């Protein structure tokens, strides 16, 4: 279920965002939202590149809290920068949801996660 949710949020839900909020240019907006997936290129700098159960939030340099502040700022610029900001923030939200799902199934697996405090506090807020 986690994998299905993750890929649905990365590839299908942006189509809803594009169509609901940018109906006139939804195709162009959807392509821009898909292009924001390039943010995952920062995974190539990790060692190992792929590690099961690794939370990318605050681990990879384009997934840090500092980078997210820049993505928030982009939302307040004109098109296409605001769309890029929306795409990047939604990407971070999707990855964070993925982290929460992994954390819920194995808390001890995340004992050294960069986003551990955020995972713990969010888990407490949303319940058991």
120 in helix, strand or coil? helix
Q: How far is 92 from 36, CA to CA, in rounded Å?
A: 10
Q: How far is 83 from 89, CA to CA, in rounded Å?
A: 10
Q: How far is 110 from 116, CA to CA, in rounded Å?
A: 7
Range from 48-57, 93-102, 107-116 that averages highest in pLDDT: 93-102
Element spanning 77, H or E: none
Structure tokens that stand for 29 in this block? 């907006």
pLDDT, tens digit, 9 for 90 and up, residues 10-21:
999 999 999 999
pLDDT above 90 (res 45): yes
pLDDT above 90 (res 128): no
Split into its structural domains, the chain has a count of: 1
Q: At a CB cut-off of 8 Å and minimum separation 6, what does 24 contact?
A: none
Domain of residue 90, residue span: 2-126
Q: How far is 99 from 32, CA to CA, in rounded Å?
A: 24
pLDDT, tens digit, 9 for 90 and up, residues 57-84:
999 999 999 999 999 999 999 999 999 9
pLDDT above 70 (res 98): yes
pLDDT, tens digit, 9 for 90 and up, residues 103-123:
998 888 888 889 999 999 999
pLDDT (0 to 100) of residue 72: 98
pLDDT above 70 (res 40): yes
């Amino acid at each position: 279920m986690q994998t299905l949710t993750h890929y649905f949020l990365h590839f299908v839900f942006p189509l809803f965002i594009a169509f609901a909020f940018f109906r006139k240019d939804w195709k162009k907006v959807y392509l821009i939202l898909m292009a924001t997936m390039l943010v995952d290129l920062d995974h190539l700098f990790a060692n190992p590149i792929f590690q099961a159960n690794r939370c990318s939030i605050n681990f990879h340099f384009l997934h840090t809290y500092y980078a997210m502040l820049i993505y928030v700022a982009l939302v307040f610029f004109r098109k296409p920068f605001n769309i890029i900001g929306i795409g990047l923030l939604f990407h971070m939200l999707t990855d964070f949801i993925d982290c929460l799902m992994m954390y819920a199934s194995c808390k001890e697996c995340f004992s050294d996660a960069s986003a551990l405090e955020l995972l713990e506090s969010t888990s407490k807020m949303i319940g058991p």
